[in-house]
């Protein structure tokens, strides 16, 4: 069926495990991908800060800074030392280190300091005192320090950009990036999110620059020294209590955008939102200002509370090196292009929401950051959906995110190769749990709880149970839960496991009663996850019956309380279907007995019936059916039956899981006799859709759906589209300088490499070999991926392997070879050809990879690990027996492959005959489908 065209698969299901509109939006205290790398060593609380007074003098021309800090500290216990944070890069002047104790009459008494020492391999600085300071004492610790301004975006860093009409002028700026724990790079402090105190700050700058800080400017004074007359000092208002990671400033020559309409303000506190950009792009920023004008009032309305700030400065910084916007309280720093590219409402809402949840209210420690991130993500979506009628966003949320969760957490070893992915997925799963609570407890109860949470924890740091406890109390108060329930217990049952459940609904074994059971959802075989029998969840059973299709009723009929099975009495009517978990309220798939599936299908095939089941629920039924069949929990004939209503479906939300299905199943059966019939089935389903959408222009949801249908038909070998791709490819071949540019859309390339001639494929290979150094390397990577992953003719793949491995063409690196192996594993033609290549050239390949363990292990993995049939098992077993003792580091890999293939063989033996019979019946009853439109 489909080649492993990575961009198509990524777009539809993985998207690197995130909704496309959220891909760059995890900010501020969203350290879900990095908090695991932050040391668990925390400062003692015998001494705590109560306030900072900081003077900073950055010296731009020397890339350095000096500073003085006075820290008001309080003793909670009697102790004779002070522990705080100071990075190795920060120089502390121990000779001027002083500690003054404040007596009742504000008389300052000097406390002798013995010495200061850095903790070994920790960014902790310990000040040892001559005598013990008693509990409740109040002191001022004064430290002079200096350090360097860096180019990397950690602490205080320096950047530059070209400006002017002809880019003739180079300008510099200074900016800070303190999260997660980089404040200690700029000044000594108690650099943990739980310490929230006021900051009184003054910052020196060149006269021709502007400094923007967390709070508004109070006054500006000249420096006393005549040698530093080009510098002035800005004094800023004392901040509200805040964490060190939200501290920030920018020294630049950006210009303030002056809107034609009135300033965007919070009328109660006169909070002003200002935009700062280069002069040349002032006119382009108007739309961003308008969007902020819409978003901010809605956030105030949701939280029922304004920010305790007078201003928020939003900066578009050219050439900002950071990979993400840097959020400080009252100061948002973006890459210029992120704002000029007309960011979505979600993007801007997400950043503003962190001003409430992240800066004002802060997680006590980084292990809560994924919960904070999830809360910001969910609330940003809630507000965005009130603002944005864009079909594209609604088509992607929440289904794309949910699909990626299902895909990842149904693996035998979720996110086993990517450490950061584990935390990111945890955050996204938690966001779906919050969405589930919003449905099951009611939107009004959930919003009331969040409002109480914000009101209670303003200026404070919270732990996860603070949030769950607030939601529980509100739900009980509103009668949505009884006192026996705990949201913390419900949420923890989901968050604590890197897994998801599935439930099975049985309507036939007990008359009028529905039996519901839960188990671990495993899509990837073998299903041998340890202790899966112990995994149970709190699951809300929201149930809709055919005789009452009211999908606004989202309160659970019953909660499944971490038990294996329950009986729901009097919940089913004979010959009437039920739907459990409509609208994907909870992140779990649902299986039914065959009778209920058939009743659902009959209803969906009827125009009136289909219109009465909402879009998300139709998409869920389709997605659940094929995923459960793929996992081995549902007969594949039933799953394919459910797809029949797609001939009449036109909503892109429902079509997305269909495109995922035909890709996955198509690649799984590529080498079987069923494959051609499956391609014909795809044409029969998709051709009416494409013909109906043929005349829609770009930038509409219909156009996107048309594009997906065109792509799928092309990959299925639909001749008119294959010829269209080849005609466009011919223009590239005949161009004067084909190495300088690819003059056809990328989506045509894979189609040509799959169905085109060897000459056309060889032209692509030559372009990779002669790829100019001055062109973007990602273009070469895409060509190489498609050269390897798209062909369904083994001779093309053998040619590529000969060139890159046996001939050792110097234009291909080890990383290129790894990429080729990976792409070949995506389809049965690829991995079977790779196996045959290894089998036929064992000695030569083994010799070449003798000292390259990574290549050897990857080759054995991809050449032996993806077979699905008995024939494939015998092939791998033959290779293993013939070369026993020669596999070296990959011995365990091929042994594991043999074990896994046995499980896949069971699936193929059970399902391929079923699919074959179903396709025969389908094609015999569908007169529109003929073989003449297909490639051989």
pLDDT tens-digit series, residues 304-325:
999 999 999 999 999 887 656 6
Identify the helix (H) or strand (E) that includes residue 763: helix 758-769
Mean pLDDT of 880-907: 93
Q: Which tokens is 889 given?
A: 């580091």
Domain that holds residue 73: 45-252
Whether residue 167 is found in the same domain as residue 270:
no
Mean pLDDT of 784-808: 95
Confidence of residue 268 (pLDDT cuts 50, 70, 90): low
Please count the structural domains in the chain.
2
What is the predicted pLDDT for the residue at 438?
98
As a whole number, the mean pLDDT across the chain is: 89
**What is the DSSP code (8-state) at residue 237?**
P
Identify the helix (H) or strand (E) that includes residue 334: strand 331-335
Q: Which residue has the tokens 């900016």?
A: 175
Angle value at C-alpha 506, between 501 and 511, nearest 5 degrees: 150
Whether residue 248 is found in the same domain as residue 260:
no
From 314, 341, 368, give the residue that closes a domain: 341
User: Which DSSP string corresponds to 426-495?
Assistant: HHHHHHHHHHHHHHHS-HHHHHHHHHHHHHHHTTSEE-HHHHHHHHHHHHHHTTSS-TT--HHHHHHHHH
The model's pLDDT over 427-440, given as tens digits with 9 standing for 90+, comes to 999 999 999 999 99
Q: Which tokens is 132 given?
A: 């013990």
Q: Pick from 333, 334, 357, 81: which is nearest to 243 by CA?
A: 357
Higher per-residue confidence, 741 vs 542: 542
Whether residue 221 is found in the same domain as residue 286:
no
Residue 34 clears pLDDT 90, i.e. is over it: no
Whether 404 maps to a domain, the answer reads: no
How far apart are alpha carbons 871 and 868 in whole angstroms? 8
Cis peptide upstream of residue 180 (ω within 30 degrees of 0) = yes
Whether residue 199 is found in the same domain as residue 336:
no
Whether 148 maps to a domain, the answer reads: yes
How far apart are alpha carbons 309 and 318 in whole angstroms? 26
Whether residue 273 is found in the same domain as residue 243:
no
What is the predicted pLDDT for the residue at 841?
97
How far apart are alpha carbons 883 and 739 in whole angstroms? 43
Q: Pick from 383, 226, 238: which is nearest to 299 by CA?
A: 383
Would you state the torsion angle of the CA atoms of residues 652, 654, 658, 659, taken in this order, to the nearest 10 degrees? Answer: 20
Whether residue 130 is found in the same domain as residue 224:
yes
From 252, 284, 316, give the residue that closes a domain: 252
Q: Which residue has the tokens 């039933």?
A: 638
Edge-to-edge strand ranges of the sheet holding 249-252? 155-163, 169-177, 249-252, 210-213
Whether residue 165 is found in the same domain as residue 288:
no
Whether 731 maps to a domain, the answer reads: no
Confidence of residue 31 (pLDDT cuts 50, 70, 90): very low
Whether 331 maps to a domain, the answer reads: yes
Whether residue 206 is found in the same domain as residue 306:
no
Residue 419 clears pLDDT 80, i.e. is over it: no
What is the predicted pLDDT for the residue at 22?
38
Mean pLDDT of 749-763: 95
Whether residue 204 is found in the same domain as residue 335:
no
What is the predicted pLDDT for the residue at 262?
57
Whether residue 171 is found in the same domain as residue 264:
no
What is the predicted pLDDT for the residue at 25?
38
Angle value at C-alpha 172, between 167 and 173, nearest 5 degrees: 130
Whether 9 maps to a domain, the answer reads: no
Residue 933 clears pLDDT 90, i.e. is over it: no
Confidence of residue 266 (pLDDT cuts 50, 70, 90): low
Confidence of residue 296 (pLDDT cuts 50, 70, 90): very high
What is the predicted pLDDT for the residue at 571?
84
Q: Pick from 35, 56, 62: which is nearest to 250 by CA?
A: 56
Domain containing 164 — which CATH number?
2.60.40.1730
How far apart are alpha carbons 232 and 338 in whole angstroms? 32
Cα separations in angstroms, 102 against 114, 133, 140, 840: 20, 12, 8, 84
Mean pLDDT of 814-831: 94
- Lowest-confidence region among 521-530, 665-674, 704-713: 665-674
What is the predicted pLDDT for the residue at 392?
61
Identify the helix (H) or strand (E) that includes residue 678: helix 675-693
Whether residue 308 is found in the same domain as residue 162:
no
Cis peptide upstream of residue 526 (ω within 30 degrees of 0) = yes
Whether 648 maps to a domain, the answer reads: no
**What is the share, in percent, of the chain residues with pLDDT greater than 90?**
71
Domain containing 331 — which CATH number?
3.30.2010.30
Which three-class secondary structure state does DSSP give residue 126?
strand
How far apart are alpha carbons 357 and 365 in whole angstroms? 14
Confidence of residue 258 (pLDDT cuts 50, 70, 90): confident
The model's pLDDT over 852-862, given as tens digits with 9 standing for 90+, comes to 999 999 999 99
Whether 285 maps to a domain, the answer reads: yes
780-814 as b/e: b if 16+ CB within 10 A = bbbbbbbbbbbbbbeebbbbbbebbbeeeeeebee
Whether residue 222 is found in the same domain as residue 275:
no
Higher per-residue confidence, 420 vs 172: 172
Residue 265 clears pLDDT 60, i.e. is over it: no
121-144 as b/e: b if 16+ CB within 10 A = eebbbebebeeebeeebbbbbebb
**Three-state SS sequence of 515-565:** EEEEEECCCCCCCCCCCHHHCCCEEEECEEECCECCCCCCCCCEEEECCCE
The model's pLDDT over 488-497, given as tens digits with 9 standing for 90+, comes to 999 999 999 9
What is the predicted pLDDT for the residue at 26?
39
What is the predicted pLDDT for the residue at 15?
33
Per DSSP bridges, beta strands 461-462 and 362-363 are parallel
333-360 as b/e: b if 16+ CB within 10 A = bbbbebbbeebbbbbbbbbbbbbbbbbb
Per DSSP bridges, beta strands 169-177 and 538-541 are unpaired
Whether 178 maps to a domain, the answer reads: yes
From 341, 363, 398, give the residue that closes a domain: 341
């Amino acid at each position: 069926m489909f080649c492993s065209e990575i961009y198509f698969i990524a777009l539809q299901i993985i998207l690197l495990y995130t909704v496309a509109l959220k891909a760059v939006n995890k900010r501020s205290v969203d350290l879900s991908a990095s908090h695991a790398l932050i040391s668990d060593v925390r400062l003692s609380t015998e001494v705590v800060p109560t306030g900072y007074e900081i003077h900073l003098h950055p010296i731009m021309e020397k890339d350095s800074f000096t500073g003085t800090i006075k820290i008001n500290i309080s003793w909670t216990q009697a102790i004779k030392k002070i522990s705080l944070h100071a990075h190795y890069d920060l120089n502390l002047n121990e000779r001027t280190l002083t500690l003054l104790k404040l007596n009742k009459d504000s008389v300052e008494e000097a406390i002798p300091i013995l010495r200061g020492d850095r903790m070994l391999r920790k960014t902790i600085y310990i000040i040892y005192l001559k005598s013990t300071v008693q509990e409740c004492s109040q002191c001022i610790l004064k430290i002079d320090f200096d350090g360097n301004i860096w180019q990397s975006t950690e602490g205080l860093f320096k950047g530059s950009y070209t400006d002017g009409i002809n880019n003739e002028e180079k300008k510099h700026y200074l900016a800070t990036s303190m999260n997660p724990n980089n404040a200690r790079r700029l000044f000594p402090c108690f650099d943990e999110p739980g310490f929230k105190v006021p900051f009184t700050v003054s910052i020196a700058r060149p006269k021709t620059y502007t400094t923007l800080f967390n709070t508004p400017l109070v006054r500006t004074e000249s420096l006393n020294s005549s040698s530093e007359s080009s510098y002035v000092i800005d004094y800023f208002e004392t901040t509200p209590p805040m964490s060190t990671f939200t501290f920030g400033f920018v020294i630049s020559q950006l210009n303030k955008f002056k809107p034609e309409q009135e300033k965007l303000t919070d009328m109660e506190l006169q909070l002003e939102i200002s935009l700062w950009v280069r002069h040349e792009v002032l006119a382009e920023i108007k739309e961003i200002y308008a969007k902020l004008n819409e978003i901010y009032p809605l956030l105030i309305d949701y939280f029922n509370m304004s920010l305790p700030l007078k201003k928020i400065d939003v900066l578009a910084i050219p050439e900002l090196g950071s990979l993400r916007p840097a959020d400080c309280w009252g100061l948002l720093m973006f890459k210029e292009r992120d704002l000029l590219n007309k960011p979505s409402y979600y993007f801007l809402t997400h950043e503003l929401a962190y001003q409430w949840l992240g800066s004002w209210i802060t997680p006590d420690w980084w292990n809560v950051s994924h919960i904070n991130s999830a809360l910001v993500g969910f609330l940003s979506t809630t507000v965005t959906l009130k603002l944005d009628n864009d079909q594209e966003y609604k088509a992607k949320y929440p289904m794309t995110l949910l699909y990626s969760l299902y895909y990842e957490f149904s693996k035998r070893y979720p996110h086993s190769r990517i450490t950061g992915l584990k935390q990111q997925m945890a955050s996204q799963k938690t966001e779906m749990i919050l969405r589930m609570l919003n449905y099951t407890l009611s939107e009004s109860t959930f919003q009331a709880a969040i409002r109480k949470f914000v009101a209670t924890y303003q200026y404070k740091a919270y732990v996860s149970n603070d949030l769950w406890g607030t939601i529980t109390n509100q739900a009980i108060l509103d009668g949505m839960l009884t006192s026996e329930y705990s949201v913390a217990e419900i949420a923890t049952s989901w968050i604590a496991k890197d897994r998801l459940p599935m439930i099975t609904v049985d309507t036939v074994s007990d008359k009028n009663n529905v039996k519901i059971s839960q188990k671990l959802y495993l899509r990837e075989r073998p299903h041998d996850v340890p202790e899966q029998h112990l995994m149970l969840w709190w699951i809300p059973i929201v149930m809709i019956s055919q005789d009452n299709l009211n999908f606004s009723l989202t309160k659970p009929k019953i909660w499944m309380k971490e038990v294996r099975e329950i009986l729901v009495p009097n919940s089913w009517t004979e010959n009437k279907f039920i739907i459990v978990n409509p609208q994907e309220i909870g992140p779990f798939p649902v299986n039914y007995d065959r009778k209920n599936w058939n009743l659902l299908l009959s209803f969906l095939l009827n125009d009136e019936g289909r219109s009465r089941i909402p879009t998300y629920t139709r998409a869920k039924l389709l997605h659940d059916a094929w995923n459960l069949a793929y996992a081995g929990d549902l007969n594949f004939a039933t799953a394919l039956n459910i797809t029949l209503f797609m001939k009449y479906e036109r909503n892109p939300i429902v079509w997305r899981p269909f495109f995922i299905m035909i890709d996955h199943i198509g690649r799984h059966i590529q080498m079987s006799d069923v494959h051609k019939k499956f391609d014909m089935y795809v044409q029969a389903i998709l051709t009416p859709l494409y013909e109906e959408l043929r005349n829609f222009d770009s930038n509409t949801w219909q156009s996107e759906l048309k594009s997906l249908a065109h792509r799928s038909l092309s990959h299925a070998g639909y001749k008119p589209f294959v010829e269209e791709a080849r005609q466009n490819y011919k223009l590239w071949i005949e161009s004067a300088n084909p190495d300088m540019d690819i003059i056809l859309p990328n989506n045509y390339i894979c189609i040509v490499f799959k169905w085109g001639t060897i000459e056309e494929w060889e032209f692509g290979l030559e372009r990779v070999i002669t790829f100019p150094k001055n062109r973007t390397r990602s273009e070469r990577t895409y060509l190489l991926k498609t050269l390897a992953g798209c062909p369904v003719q083994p001779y093309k793949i053998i040619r590529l392997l000969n060139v890159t491995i046996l001939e050792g063409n110097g234009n291909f690196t080890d990383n290129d070879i790894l990429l080729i192996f990976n792409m070949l594993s995506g389809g049965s033609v690829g991995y079977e050809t790779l196996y045959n290549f290894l089998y036929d050239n064992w000695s030569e390949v083994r010799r070449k990879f003798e000292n390259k363990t990574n290549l050897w292990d990857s080759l054995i993995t991809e050449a032996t690990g993806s077979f699905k049939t008995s024939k494939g098992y015998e092939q791998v077993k033959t290779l293993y027996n013939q070369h026993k003792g020669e596999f070296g580091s990959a011995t365990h890999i091929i042994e594991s492959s043999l074990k896994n293939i046995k499980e896949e063989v069971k699936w193929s033996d059970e399902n391929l005959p079923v699919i074959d019979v179903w396709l025969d019946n389908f094609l015999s009853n569908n007169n529109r489908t003929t073989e003449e439109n297909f490639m051989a």
